[in-house]
Structure 1
Amino acid sequence: MWDSDIGARNYDNRLVSGVQTDKFEQRGQSWYAITDIPSDLLIQIGEISFHLHKCQLLSKSGRMNRIIHESREVDIKKVILDELPGGTEAFELVAKFCYGSVVKLTATIITGLRCAAEYLEMTEDLEEGNLILKTEAFINYVVLSSWKDSISVLKICEEFSPWAENLQIVRRCSESVAWKTSSDPKYVRWQYTGKQNNDSSPNRDQVLSDWWCEDVSVLRIDHFVRVITAIKVKGMKDELVGSAIMHYAMKWLPGMIKEGSSGSVEEGTGSSNGVAAGNRGGLHMIIAMNKGDHSSSPEGKRQRTIIESLISIIPPENDSVSCSFLLRLLRIATMVNVAPALVTELEKRIGMQLEEATMADLLIPSYNRSETMYDVDLVQRILENFLIQEQIEISTPGREPMMKKSYDMNAKMRVAKLVDGYLSEVSRDKNLSLTKFHVLAEALPESARICDDGIYRAIDSYLKAHPMLSEHERRRLCRVMDFQKLSKDACMHAAQNERLPLRVAVQVIFSEQMRISNTLARDTHELHYQPIVQNRKTLLDETPQSFQDGWAMAKKDIDTLKFDLETVKTKYVELQHEMKSLENRYDKVAKLKHQSTWLNGWKKLSKIAKISTFENMGSGSQRNSEQLVKTPRRRRYSIS
C-alpha cells in the first residue's frame, strides 16, 4: 500500500513473487525484514546492513538485477551500495516500498527517495507503478504546487548534487518559486518561515512587495542564483530583485553593515564564525593580520563565491540596489580577493550612483597592505567612473542609457561634498602622499564646489598631520582652494592659521576685503534706489492702522541701517585717505632718504677734493721757499 501527504490515496503494490511484510526491525547496526522466510541477500551501506530477500529487490530494481546477474559468484549473498544517494535513510524507505509497506511521502524525504530510485533504476519496465513514477508524481503535483514545499526541496537538493540537478528537480522548483513570487500573494497561503499571509496582517503592504525575500535567502548561493534568474525572466521589478539580493548578502556575508546601523559591522546570520568589529579600524586590523589566511580559507572561498555570484545577477538598471550596499560589497570583495574583472565592474556600478554614497561607506581599509590606512586609489577609480559617466551623458544627450540616471549639477555638488569629507578623514593619515591628496582634490571641476570650506578643512587637517612640509609644498597644497569661495568664518580662521603659508594668508585677507568692498557698494546702490510709487500717501491711508504702524517701524529700521551704512562707508573712505596719506609720507621719506644719500656722497667727494687742493698748495709753497733759499738774492746796483 502507498500513502502520501495530500490524501489517503492507496496504491496496490503487487509483487511478482516472494513475500510481503510491513515489519522491519533494527538490531544494532542491522535491519531485518520480519518474515517466515529467511533472508538470502545482505545490502551493505556504510556500517549499516540490511538483511533482505533477492526476489523483492530484483522485481523492482534494474541495477540489482544487473549486479546479481553479472556477478561471477554463482550465489551472491552480499552487495555493497555505498554510493546510493540518500544513504541508509533513503534505502530504508526503498526496502519498505519493495516489501509493500506503506510509505508516507513528504517534501523532506522526496528528494532523497527520488535520487535513490533513479540510482537503483526502479522504472516502469520492471513493474507498473514503480518508485520513479510515484516520486515524480509527488514532485509534480504536490511539491511544485506548494511554496513551502518548493523552498524545502530546493534546500534539501543541496545534499544531493549532482543527482538533483540532473533530474531537473532544482530547475523545476526554481521555476515554481519564480512563478509564485510574481503572482498574487493571497494565493500563496504559507511561507517557508511559517508566517501566514492574511488580510488582517498589519504589515500587508510590505508583504505584498518583498514577502518572498526572506524565504529564498535560506538557499545555497547556486540555487539562489537559479531562483533569481528565473524570477528576472518572469519580469519581476528590478528593485524587488535588488531587495532580495541585498537581503541575501546581509544574511550570508559577515561584515556587511545593515541599513540604519550606526557605523557598526555586524555578523551575517548565516555564518557562525564572523567577526564583529567597529567600522573604523576594528575589522581592518583583524583582517589585515590574517589577510592571506582569510582569503584562502574555506570561509574566505565561500564568501568569494557568494560575492562573485551576486555581482553577476545584480540588475543592470540603476538604483536596483543602493550605493551603500555596493560599497559594502566592494569592501568584502577586496578583502577576499574577488576576481579583478568583477571588482572593476562593481567600481563602475558604484561610480554611476556615487552621489548616493555616504562618507563612512567610502572609508574602505587598504587590505593590500599599502602605505595608507584607507584605499585612496580605489576611491579615485570610483570618482573617475563617475566623471566618465557624466561625460557620456553630456556628449550623447539623445541616447537612452542602460542606467536610468539623469545627470544634473546637484549630483556633482553632492559628490564634491562627499569627496571633501573623505579627504578630511584620510588626510589624518601620515602616510598619505601630497600627490594623492592633490589628485583626488582636483579630480572634480571648480564648478562642482559652490563653497570651499570643506576642502579648506581637509587642507588644514593635512597640514596638522604633516607638519614637516616645505613652504613650496604648502603653497602647492593650497592651490586646490579658491579663496573667493570661502565663507566668512573660514576666512577668519584662515587669516589666523599659522599653518598656512604667509602668501596664502595675505591672499585670503585681500579676497575678504574685496568681498566686503563689493558688498558695501551693492548695498549702497540698493538703498539709494527708491522705486517710484504713485499716490503712496493715498495707498497708506487706505491700509489698516496695524500695517501703517508696522511700516513706520520698518522705515525707522531702514533709516537706522542706512545711517549705519553711511557711517561705515565714511570710515572706509577715511581709512582709504589715511592709507593714501601714509603712502605719500612713505614716498617722501623714501625720496628724502635717497637724496640724503647722494648729498652725503657729494660732501665726501668735496671734502676729499679740498684736502687734495690744500695738499697741492702746501707742496708748491714749499718748493718756492726752497728755491728762494737756494738762489742767492741778487742786489741791484744803481749808479744814482
Structure 2
Amino acid sequence: MTWSELIIGLENCQELLFFLSSSSLLQEFLDCVVGRLEFHYISSPCPSSTDNSSMQFSGDISLESRGICTSQATWWFADLGFLNLNMFKKIIDTMVSKKLDHSVISSFLFYYKRMKCPNASSAQKCRIIETVIKCLCPLVSSFISIRGLFDILQASFNLKMSKCSIGKLENLIGSQLDRAKLDDLLIPSPAGEQIAYNVNLILRLLDIFLSNSRGKLLMYQLKKVAELIDLYIMEVAPDPFLKPSKFLALAMAMPDIARESYDTIYLAMDIYLKVHYRLSEEEKIKICSVLRYDELTEKILKDLAQNESFPACALVTAQVTLQNKLRYSVSRTSIFS
C-alpha cells in the first residue's frame, strides 16, 4: 500500500471513527501507518509534503540537537494535519507504543497545535492544547523542545485553561528548567496585575526543579539554573511593583552551593534598592541578608562599600571583607615571592 493510499485510508477511518473506535482493524491500520513512518525518513511520496514552509515549527531545536535531519524526519507532518483530535490522539498513542523517536513525536505535536489553533475558537483551542499536553506527558522530557513548552504555557494562560492542564505543563518545564533561556522566563504577569512579569510562575518552576529532582541534580544543572535565575532577577529588579518578599524569594530560591559568585545578585540588588528607595532600613537589611560577601569580587566589594543605597551594616561588612581579602592577597604574594 502506498503512502497516498494510507492517507486516503486514514481519511476514511476518521469519517467512520465512531463505528471503528474499538476495532482491532483500526489499530492494525494505524500500526501500518506508523510503521511506514519509521522506515521512510528520506522524502515524502505525497506532493503535499514538498511545501518547505510547513516544516517551520517550534520543535526543530529538539530534533537538531539529537542529530536528526528535520526535513527527513518530518516530511509527513503536513500529510497528517487533517486529523481531528480523536484520530490525532489515537495515532500519537500508536507512535508512542511503537517507540517512534520522541523528538519527532513532540515536534509533530507542536506542529499540529500551530497549524490548528489560528483558525479555532477559544473552546477549540483549549481542547487542542489539552490534547497536546496529554500526549506530551508520556514522552521523555529531554526530547521535548523547552521553547515549545513555554509557548504552550503562554497560550494556556491567555486562554485561562484549567489548573490541571497548566500544572502538567509546569511540571514538564520545571523538571528541565536547566534547558531554559532567559527569554523563556520573561512571561508577562496575568491581566490585571501591575507587576510586569509572572514572578510567581518562576518561583513555582524553581520549586518543581528543586523538589522533583532532589538528589538527582548534577552540579552543572544547579549552576546553570542559578545563573539563569540571577539574570532573571536582573530583569525584574527595575519593576517598581515587585514586592520585597518576591525579590527575596527569587534571590533565596537556589541553594548557596549553586552560585560561584554573588556579583550578579549584588547588581540586581543595587538596581532594586535604587528603584525602591523608600524601603525601610529593616527591609533593606533583610534583602541584603542574601549576600555572601566572601563570594563577591574585590571590584564589587569596593562598589558596595561606598553604595549609599544599601544599609550601613552592608557597607561596613563589605569594607571588612575587602580588607580581609586584600590582606590575604598580600600574604600569599609575600609567601610566593
| TM-score, length of structure 1 as denominator length | 0.46
Offset of residue 368 of structure 1: 4.9
- 1:154–1:170 Cα contact (<8 Å) kept: no
One-letter code aligned to 2:108: A
CA distance in 2, matches of 1:477, 1:232: 48
CA distance in 2, matches of 1:172, 1:300: 34
Is residue 2:204 matched to residue 1:381?
yes
Tell me which of 92, 102, 127 is aligned to 1:238.
Answer: 102
CA distance in 1, matches of 2:165, 2:44: 39
CA distance in 1, matches of 2:12, 2:319: 74
Q: Which residue of 2 aligns with 1:410?
A: 220
Tell me which of 84, 100, 108 is aligned to 1:220.
Answer: 84
Q: Which residue of 2 aligns with 1:353?
A: 176
Tell me which of 185, 194, 197 is aligned to 1:362.
Answer: 185
Q: Which residue of 2 aligns with 1:524?
A: 334
Is residue 2:2 matched to residue 1:146?
yes
Offset of residue 157 of structure 1: 6.7
Against the structure 1 CA distance between its residues 156 and 492, is the aligned structure 2 distance closer, same or farther, given a 3 Å change threshold?
A: farther
CA distance in 2, matches of 1:189, 1:458: 52
Tell me which of 331, 344, 355 is aligned to 2:154.
Answer: 331
Q: Which residue of 2 aligns with 1:302?
A: 124
The structure carrying a bigger helix percent of its residues is: 2
One-letter code aligned to 2:101: K
- 2:50–2:75 Cα contact (<8 Å) kept: no
CA distance in 2, matches of 1:360, 1:205: 26
Q: Which residue of 1 aligns with 2:60?
A: none
Q: Which residue of 1 aligns with 2:58?
A: none
Instruction: Give CA-to-partner distance per residue, 1:338-375, whole Å, 9 cap, x none.
Output: 22122112111111110110111111122253342222
One-letter code aligned to 1:465: V
One-letter code aligned to 2:181: T
Q: Which residue of 2 aligns with 1:494?
A: 304
Tell me which of 8, 14, 18 is aligned to 1:165.
Answer: 18
- 2:44–2:75 Cα contact (<8 Å) kept: no
Q: Secondary structure of the residue that 1:219 maps to in structure 2? A: coil
Q: Which residue of 1 aligns with 2:45?
A: 190
Q: Secondary structure of the residue that 2:310 maps to in structure 1? A: coil
Against the structure 1 CA distance between its residues 380 and 524, is the aligned structure 2 distance closer, same or farther, given a 3 Å change threshold?
A: same
- 1:409–1:448 Cα contact (<8 Å) kept: yes
Identity of aligned residues (%): 27
Instruction: Give CA-to-partner distance per residue, 1:279-326, whole Å, 9 cap, x none.
Output: xxxxxxxxxxxxxxxxxxx62212211111011111342312022221
Against the structure 1 CA distance between its residues 182 and 479, is the aligned structure 2 distance closer, same or farther, given a 3 Å change threshold?
A: same
Instruction: Give CA-to-partner distance per residue, 1:380-399, whole Å, 9 cap, x none.
Output: 111011111232xx2xxxxx
Tell me which of 164, 173, 187 is aligned to 1:341.
Answer: 164
One-letter code aligned to 2:279: L
Offset of residue 333 of structure 1: 1.1
Q: Which residue of 2 aligns with 1:81?
A: none
Instruction: Give CA-to-partner distance per residue, 1:585-619, whole Å, 9 cap, x none.
Output: xxxxxxxxxxxxxxxxxxxxxxxxxxxxxxxxxxx
- 1:170–1:223 Cα contact (<8 Å) kept: no
One-letter code aligned to 1:165: F
Offset of residue 457 of structure 1: 1.8
User: Runs of 5+ in structure 1 lacking a partner?
Assistant: 1-144, 197-203, 254-270, 273-297, 395-405, 528-640
User: Runs of 5+ in structure 2 lacking a partner?
Assistant: 52-67
Written as runs of structure 1 = structure 2, the 5 A alignment for 1:542-553 is none
Against the structure 1 CA distance between its residues 426 and 222, is the aligned structure 2 distance closer, same or farther, given a 3 Å change threshold?
A: farther
One-letter code aligned to 2:311: P
- 2:284–2:311 Cα contact (<8 Å) kept: yes
- 2:44–2:76 Cα contact (<8 Å) kept: no
One-letter code aligned to 1:302: Q
One-letter code aligned to 2:187: I
Tell me which of 206, 211, 214 is aligned to 2:75.
Answer: 211
C-alpha root-mean-square deviation of aligned residues, in Å?
2.6
Written as runs of structure 1 = structure 2, the 5 A alignment for 1:459-498 is 459-498=269-308
- 1:151–1:192 Cα contact (<8 Å) kept: no
Against the structure 1 CA distance between its residues 190 and 498, is the aligned structure 2 distance closer, same or farther, given a 3 Å change threshold?
A: same
- Aligned pair count reads 317
Against the structure 1 CA distance between its residues 409 and 174, is the aligned structure 2 distance closer, same or farther, given a 3 Å change threshold?
A: same
Q: Secondary structure of the residue that 2:48 maps to in structure 1? A: coil
Q: Which residue of 2 aligns with 1:372?
A: 195
Against the structure 1 CA distance between its residues 206 and 430, is the aligned structure 2 distance closer, same or farther, given a 3 Å change threshold?
A: closer
CA distance in 2, matches of 1:171, 1:476: 62
Q: Which residue of 1 aligns with 2:112?
A: 248
Structure with bigger gyration radius: 1
Q: Which residue of 1 aligns with 2:140?
A: 317
Against the structure 1 CA distance between its residues 484 and 211, is the aligned structure 2 distance closer, same or farther, given a 3 Å change threshold?
A: same
Offset of residue 207 of structure 1: 4.3
CA distance in 1, matches of 2:271, 2:8: 56
CA distance in 1, matches of 2:48, 2:268: 50
Offset of residue 479 of structure 1: 0.9
Against the structure 1 CA distance between its residues 235 and 488, is the aligned structure 2 distance closer, same or farther, given a 3 Å change threshold?
A: same
One-letter code aligned to 1:472: E
